[in-house]
Structure 1
């Protein structure tokens, strides 16, 4: 089973969920699309790792509520004690930052400001979720993992927001330097050198 499968078991280990709820909870663990989640749930159900029950809804299609089985808990427990793979980071924004030299300054700033806005929105939403999560400092609590991971995501996003502002500051400072160099190249450099020579005579 792939990592997404274990992420699903981790969520279901806390409480039974529908497929839609699973996708929401997985955002902080291992983001996945519904097209990835549902086929995997079917395989996991066939392998006895999860079970589901149909819930009838008025005016809506019936939904399935999935729960972890004893076999699923055993599988998750065994996986947790194994070696952890190195993290994989794929972020389109970083590629664009790496290729910043191919665009102009206004577009570059717009890209960074857009990133800041999205990160700030995520942080605000997580703050609401954190406020609703029961604060638990015991590792035996099912709320503990979600609580610390939500806070971790917020800390990382806040750090990236600071980094984005740092990049913008570098761009501003570079503009100042280029402006000063432009003045000097326009003839001021010779006047400065003449002044230095004058004071050196004393």
Structure 2
């Protein structure tokens, strides 16, 4: 079961949702970034695997809405994952590492410093608004990653300055 499926299963367990509501919830809760197509695809897979079932709700003038519910098998799978999933280091891939490798990318790293500065500010504001919640903890995790990313960008800019002299 992939990370997105696990997140969707937990979200639906908290309260049954449509695919549209799941898309909004995943974005708002900062659990996993996924397009609505990915979310619908994974819900359909989990429906076929009997982890979810879809209740069809008629919509006038629109296609029927599917409201997803977690099955007993889905609840069992979540409990199994909670108790048996080992911590695994994620594979690290980042464009900035490739740009450092090819060298001479001062404009790229300057832009990175600007983009990351704005993102760090945005995350700090969101954390303040979400203080004391699980969302704040997830945002803080992302903030710390962005700060380390900014340190990497700045170190590359400083290295370029030293190399240019």
Q: When the two structures are superposed, what TM-score results if normalisation uses the length of structure 1? A: 0.61
Q: Name the CA shift for 1:6/1:173 in 2 (closer, same or farther; >3 Å).
A: closer
RMSD: 3.4
Distance 2:103 2:120 in 1: 24
Distance 1:70 1:53 in 2: 15
Structure in which a larger fraction of residues adopt strand? 2
SS of the equivalent of 1:53 reads: strand
Distance 2:80 2:98 in 1: 40
The answer on 1:37 being equivalent to 2:23 is: no
For CA contacts below 8 A with separation 6 or more, give which structure has more relative contact order. 2
How many residues are paired up? 162
Structure 2 portions without partners, runs of 5+:
none
Q: Deviations for 1:109-152, whole angstroms, at most 9, x for unmatched residues?
A: 11221122234334545655x36xxx6xxxxxxxxxxx32x223
Distance 2:51 2:163 in 1: 63
List structure 1 runs of 4+ shifted beyond 6 angstroms.
Answer: none
Matches within 5 A, 1:115-194: 115-125=116-126, 127-128=128-129, 130=130, 147-148=133-134, 150-163=135-148, 164=150, 167-168=153-154, 171=157, 175=161
Q: When the two structures are superposed, what TM-score results if normalisation uses the length of structure 2? A: 0.71
Distance 2:13 2:69 in 1: 8
SS of the equivalent of 1:62 reads: strand
SS of the equivalent of 2:67 reads: strand
Q: Deviations for 1:13-43, whole angstroms, at most 9, x for unmatched residues?
A: 1111111222343353333333333233223
